[in-house]
Structure formats: C-alpha cells, structure tokens
A and B are shown apart, each in its own frame.
Chain A
C-alpha cells in the first residue's frame, strides 16, 4: 500500500498550499484530487467551443503573501494582468483602484467624508489582517493559543488610542449600510461599497454584522488582478510548486472515506477501493463533508456531529459566462476594468431580499470582467468572454431549472440596460447557480467559503467551536479548506495555517 506522512484531500488552492507547506518542511505528502485536474474553484474551462474563461473564481486578490512567496508562483509560470481598476459605468463614471483604493469621479460633497472613512476602514482592516495568518485563539484556559502574535495584536489595538478603539468596537458588529449612509451621499460609491462588502456572503448590506465581512475582504489583499490564461493558471502554477516541493499529486482520485484504527487516522480509501496509508490526513474540502461523509458519525460524538451539520452553508453568488462575437460597450468604461453594476445600497439590498425566500431578484447586481481584454488568446480573434459574479442567487429554490432560466434573463436585462447592444453579440450564455456550483465543484450549498463567512462562523467559531484550530477530535485529522479560518478565496491562507498547525503537532 502506498504510504506517506500526510495525505491532503482536495487540490483546490488550500489543499495545494497545505501540501506544499508540508512538503517544504520535509514531510512526504500525497495530494488526492477528485477531478481530472487540480484547482477546485481555481480553474479555466472551455465553456463554448473556442471560448475559455475562469470556471468559477475569476479575480485574484492575493494570494496569501506567505503562499505567494513560498510557492514562487511567478517562477512557476503565473502571469498576472496589471492591477485592476474598478468602474461604476455611466454617463458620470466613478472608478476605484484595487480593493479599497483611490476613488475618482466623486462629487465634491463626499470627498472629505470618503477620505476619512476610507482611511479609518483601511486602518481597521490592516489591524485585523494579521489575524488571517494566525490560528484563531480559543477562548479557554490552556487552549494553546498563539500568545506571541495575540500579544502583538493586543499591542496594536492598544496603540490605536481609546477613541479609535471605541470606534472599532462600535463598527465591529454594525451593518455596512449604516456606516455608508452615516457618512456618504453618492449612490454610485455607496452601491459599489455595498456590493463589495457582501460579495460572496449570504447577506445584504443591511444584514447585521456585514461590515466585519467587508473588513475581512479588504484585509485579504489590496490589489485585484486577472491571471493570464484564466484562474486555471494559478492552479497550474501551484501544482508545479507543490511537485517541485516533492508532493505526489493524484488527480481523478475521489476519496471515499478516511480510515481509522484504534481511533487514529491511518489513511484514506478512494472511491475505486484503493487504500493509501498516512500518519495524518489534512482535508481541504468542506468541513461538513469531511466529518459527516468521509469520517462518518460512528467515529464522532453526537454533539459534535450536530454542530458539523449545523454549519450554515448558503451560496448567494451565481457565475455568468458569455461568449461574445465582439466587444460590448459600457459607457465610459474600459473592458480591461472590473465593472460593477450596483447602482445603490438599496439596489444591493433589493437583490438580496428575494433570495431569503428562495426566489430570484428582478435586478441582480454584479461584478464583470473581460478576461479576453487582458489575454486575447482565450477567445477567437476579436471576440470576447464576459465573466461575471452575479448576486444574489437562491441556493435552494423550489424549481432549479426555472430559477436558473429566470436568473439568466434578469441578468441579461440588467446587462443590456448597462451596455445597450450587448445581447446580439452573445454566441453562448452559461449561468451557474449555487446548486450547479455545488454539483460541479463540491462546495456545500455553492458557498464561496465552504460555509457562510459571517460573524457567527468566524475565528474560533469557524467552521464551528471545537475545530477552529484546524485539528479535530480525531488524532491525525486536520481541516484546512475554505471552511476553516480565514475562509475562502483563491488565497491558500487556510491551508497554509492548517499545515503550520499540523507541523507544530497541536493536540486535539
């Protein structure tokens, strides 16, 4: 039976990052991926003959700095676009640099208030950013917390002063709409910020605690880029880095169960019955699936399984791919930009409301990129691919096919209004609803983060209390996918953190 020190389940960005980290520290690592290729949410697909696009995630924010440098992704062939400018198109366009950078085209009335708000939120986000690279502390005595880094965080909190600290506490659990409406009046800016704050979340801008999700997003990286060749290039570079570090990568190898003997992990069994032995298993797929399906309730406690099953995992984002026979025209916007159609805070909120009831919004809001504007090789010459994340989409509508058709129609209507003349250019349209994403990529509920990223499922509550430090009650089983802290995105942070904990041999 093939044997290694660690088996990593799942070859998404987190699995690849974890495997590399472990191999670079001298462990013999085997990574097993269900699909014929690695990447998970980081993939490039030919969705229509001659047209290729990022199959799910399309914009790179990051990856995690440790991952990027240790994996030397550029040396392994990753080429990125120039940093993206975001545009809110219109006769009177507004642009923003990077994730939360410089804004142009803002009315004079909002200038002062915006620069103050931007400065403050950036400061808060930078303060929280180190958390993303830490094992979440556990609020218990002798919890084995990372006291050094917690201490540093505590110091930076103290050094911000009483007034600012009080402001941080006030802001921490607030909803993003309240913050925006307190200080700003410009609908274009407020719509953009409300959209970015709720991107990938199952929440509207008026949902409680939505600001902290935004701070987390800002903390994840300040620039946005598109990978040349689509997101699959990131996966390809990560795979090369993993293999260069000595990882054995097995694709087309879905894991059926995690094997145990005497209550210790001893390896995995694939769907085809093949066994692989290992002293430890790090699972970078959904936590619920790992625990409920691969381990199974017989080896876990009832209260524990209750909590695993109670993880909220609701995808609210759909993915739209259009094959276009020519270049569409968005007023005053460049196709190399990231274009956001979210006219106001209420437009975002109204797009979220119906989703609560399993229904499709009349006017979805969205983030659009044209990968072909950066890498023309993705489509026939002169043709384009439109890739958009469209929010919000119901993850469990009554009728899946009807909801998908409705979502596509409503999305195309919004697009046609924003870029008149786009419809006739469409050679092929594909929209992936959250349930399609679940079926195709294995993300529970189609959730961006393998489980809602919300304050009640963050830090020591991610994926749920008791397993937030990447280890589980089962000796030798570790969790390191997007369901763990700090959540998803093409980043590898969770996998890297988990591998670090495994190497430190933290006890359950």
Chain B
C-alpha cells in the first residue's frame, strides 16, 4: 500500500518551489487552490515595474485545469459555456464564462483548443461535479489535470525578446494563439496569453521539466532583468487591465450563500461573450428572460476616483446619500497615474444616474482611519491597454 501522507502538508508546493522558495526572501506566501503561492518576492513595486517595463515570471501551477476530450468536445463546451466554441480554431484560446441554470456565473476562465477534440479549460475554482454531470448525453471525457502541468506566466514588454534569446521565435505568434516547441526532450507549449493586459506569454510543460524551463528562462532573460513576481504585483497589473477574479470580483454562483450575491453575465459586463445564435447553452433561457424583461440588477464598471487613496472595499453612494454599490478591486495606478477601481453598481446608477457618484474611503493614517467622501466617475475598462499588447510581430525592447 502506498502511504497517502499528503495531508501532512497543508499546502502543496508547486514544481517551481525549489527555485521560488530561495528567492522569496521574506517568505511571503499565500494559499491558492491548495498550493503555496508567492504573494511577493520582497519588493512589490519592482515586481510591478518588471511587468510593465521588463520581463516578469509568475508561477501559474495552482490554476485549476481541466482537460476535455472526445468527439463531442465542441458540442459539450458549447452547451457548457456561453461563447461559441466551434469558432475557436485549434491552436486558439478564448476567454469565456459559464453559468448555472438561472444564468448566474459559475466561473470565468480561458479555454485552450489543443486539437479538434482536445481542450484545456483553466479557471479559478474547482468544478468537477458540475463539469462531469454536464457530460450526460455527450461523448466526452473530463479530467482534472491541474497537477500534471507546470505553467509559468511570462509578462512584460521584453518577453518576446526573452523568448527569442531562449531560442524560441514567437514573432509570428498572434494574441490568443499558441505554438509548440521542443524543449528538454519534451514539448513546451507557448501561448500568447496573460493576465496583465501587456505583451506576454504563458508557458506550459510537464512538471518533470519545470526546473529546466525556469533555469533556461532566467538565464536567457537576465539581460532584461527578468524577475519572479508574486500575486500582489500581478493584482496591480490585472486591475489596470480590467480583468476579473472569481471569488474576488464576483462570488461564483455555486458558492454564494446570499440570494443577491450571484451575478449574471449582464451584471458583470460579460454579456458580449454570449453567442445567442448557437444551440442551447446552460442558463440560456434564464438569460433570455433577463434580457427581455430587463431584470438585471447590477452593472460592473470601472471607476476613476478623485485623489490618490486606493478605494479597496469601499461603498459607493449616489449624491452622498443613497448606497448604490461597492468596490471589489482598487489601486492607485502607477502607469496611468489614476485612482482606479472595479465596482458593482445597482442599476440604473451605472448609466442613467451615473452622475453624482461618491466613494466612501477609510484612509488609514498612522493607526487612525480618516473617512473621505470623494467623487468618482465611470470610466471604460481596460484602464490600460498598450498597443504592444496586440502588436504582431511584437516589439523588441
């Protein structure tokens, strides 16, 4: 019998741990899907600067990954998710969401099409029971493979140069496409994807080759100041890019305890993903009803807030009086030099009544909170979207 002693370790180490641990000088760790995940490597500002000005490396291993294969894989995913999967060609990636029967979002994620019948779905939460029950009537297999893939996110304007120095020419790789290259006796998948809104790539490989990949990348990237980053720096970049995180910007419908916490794609500003012309997908009928009866309660918006105090967790008021929303993510953005936030606003305060919005901020000033009431206005997301993000071939910096 094999001793199953995994429970002795409360959080698992990722395959990159032998490299990240010595570099994590202040032992800044958090938990992500049952794994140890670095929140920082000692200097969040420098890490953020690497994302925006150089080359940064983030350990993506804990991200939940499902492999979906079989002759009905496309039909299955089209029924599961709101976007049109048939339009995603092999070698392509798209961002999508999936809903429960009531049309409330269960999670968002990225779907990688590795072959005609071979997909990888990456997301924040675990969904195996739902994904498995959804296979009924489809010739398809769903397998959780989170721990069988080691992944790094390489983000920043210099990352194409780093990859080129590493020996991989990605100059023709367009955003949301992937390519496969030989490395260390195996296949390395490089996708032009990321969570920073910048030029960047994600690298996928078997765990046994993880350290070789790390070492190779850090050697090649040294001239560009390549450095590991933690989730704090990544979070700054993702807010600037306007991306959402399940569990932080919305409660996945399966986890919500309070009736009014669940959100539909309309209420998260994600209805643009929905393909109304494809066949039935989960939640479709509820979403049609919501659309037709204008039943959406909330809007998700970007806010530009006066001043420079980050409004994390703040409540939003109309005319300083009526509570009309709340902020789920905020920062003073170093790149745009604006005080930004992602917020949920009750309708119609995101549109017809969007003037006269105020944010109540509790600013901590030397152990004492000071209450500020500052004006805010709705501003388009993404807040920061540089041309280099999409340029193909990518710029050489």
Residues of A within 8 A of B (CB): 263, 292, 296-306, 309, 473, 508
In the complex formed, the residue of A with least CB distance to B103 is A301
* Count of chain A to chain B residue pairs whose CB atoms are closer than 8 Å in the complex: 39
Contact of B280 among A263, A292, A303 (CB under 8 A): A263
Contact of A302 among B75, B134, B284, B285 (CB under 8 A): B134
Tell me the B72-108 residues at the A interface (CB within 8 Å). 75, 79-80, 100-101
List 30 interface pairs A-B (beta carbons < 8 Å), by A numbering: A263-B284, A263-B285, A292-B136, A296-B137, A297-B136, A297-B137, A297-B138, A298-B75, A298-B79, A298-B137, A298-B138, A298-B280, A299-B280, A300-B280, A301-B100, A301-B282, A301-B283, A301-B285, A302-B80, A302-B100, A302-B133, A302-B134, A302-B282, A303-B100, A303-B101, A305-B133, A305-B136, A309-B136, A473-B285, A508-B285
Query: From residue A138, how far is it (CB to closest CB) to chain B in Å?
Result: 15
Q: Report chain B residues within 8 Å CB of A309.
A: 136
Known: A297-B137, A508-B285. A302 touches B101 (CB 8 A): yes
Chain B 124-139 interface mask (CB, 8 Å, partner A; 1/0): 0000001001101110
Query: From residue A221, how far is it (CB to closest CB) to chain B in Å?
Result: 38
Alpha-carbon distance between A303 and B282 when the two chains are bound, in angstroms: 9
Chain B 8-41 interface mask (CB, 8 Å, partner A; 1/0): 0000000000000000000000000000000000
Query: From residue A463, how far is it (CB to closest CB) to chain B in Å?
Result: 16
Residues of B within 8 A of A (CB): 75, 79-80, 100-101, 130, 133-134, 136-138, 279-280, 282-285
Q: Which of B133, B138, B279, B285: most chain A Cβ within 10 A?
A: B285
Alpha-carbon distance between A300 and B285 when the two chains are bound, in angstroms: 10
Interface SS of chain A: helix
Let me know if A301 and B101 touch, CB within 8 A.
yes
| The 5 nearest A-B residue pairs measured at CB | A297-B137, A301-B101, A303-B101, A302-B134, A297-B136
In the complex formed, the residue of A with least CB distance to B288 is A263
Alpha-carbon distance between A348 and B282 when the two chains are bound, in angstroms: 46
Alpha-carbon distance between A297 and B280 when the two chains are bound, in angstroms: 10
Q: Report chain A residues within 8 Å CB of B101.
A: 301-304
Query: From residue B330, how far is it (CB to closest CB) to chain A in Å?
Result: 34
In the complex formed, the residue of A with least CB distance to B277 is A262
Query: From residue A429, how far is it (CB to closest CB) to chain B in Å?
Result: 41
In the complex formed, the residue of A with least CB distance to B136 is A297
Alpha-carbon distance between A292 and B137 when the two chains are bound, in angstroms: 9
Q: A298-B280, A302-B136 are in contact. List 13 more A-B contacts (CB 8 A).
A: A263-B280, A297-B138, A298-B75, A298-B279, A300-B280, A301-B101, A302-B130, A302-B133, A302-B282, A303-B101, A305-B133, A473-B285, A508-B285
In the complex formed, the residue of A with least CB distance to B102 is A303
Alpha-carbon distance between A297 and B136 when the two chains are bound, in angstroms: 7
Alpha-carbon distance between A248 and B136 when the two chains are bound, in angstroms: 35
Query: From residue B373, how far is it (CB to closest CB) to chain A in Å?
Result: 36
Q: Report chain A residues within 8 Å CB of B138.
A: 297-298
Q: Report chain A residues within 8 Å CB of B279.
A: 298-299
Q: Report chain B residues within 8 Å CB of A263.
A: 280, 284-285
Q: Report chain B residues within 8 Å CB of A508.
A: 285
In the complex formed, the residue of A with least CB distance to B289 is A508
Let me know if B133 and A306 touch, CB within 8 A.
yes
In the complex formed, the residue of A with least CB distance to B78 is A298
Alpha-carbon distance between A366 and B199 when the two chains are bound, in angstroms: 78
Query: From residue B294, how far is it (CB to closest CB) to chain A in Å?
Result: 15
In the complex formed, the residue of B with least CB distance to A260 is B280
Alpha-carbon distance between A38 and B380 when the two chains are bound, in angstroms: 64
Alpha-carbon distance between A213 and B280 when the two chains are bound, in angstroms: 39
Alpha-carbon distance between A129 and B80 when the two chains are bound, in angstroms: 43
Q: Report chain A residues within 8 Å CB of B284.
A: 263
Q: Report chain A residues within 8 Å CB of B100.
A: 301-303
Alpha-carbon distance between A508 and B134 when the two chains are bound, in angstroms: 22
Alpha-carbon distance between A173 and B255 when the two chains are bound, in angstroms: 32
Query: From residue A190, how far is it (CB to closest CB) to chain B in Å?
Result: 45
Q: Which of A303, A306, A473: most chain B Cβ within 10 A?
A: A303
Q: Report chain A residues within 8 Å CB of B80.
A: 302
Q: Which of B100, B136, B283: most chain A Cβ within 10 A?
A: B136
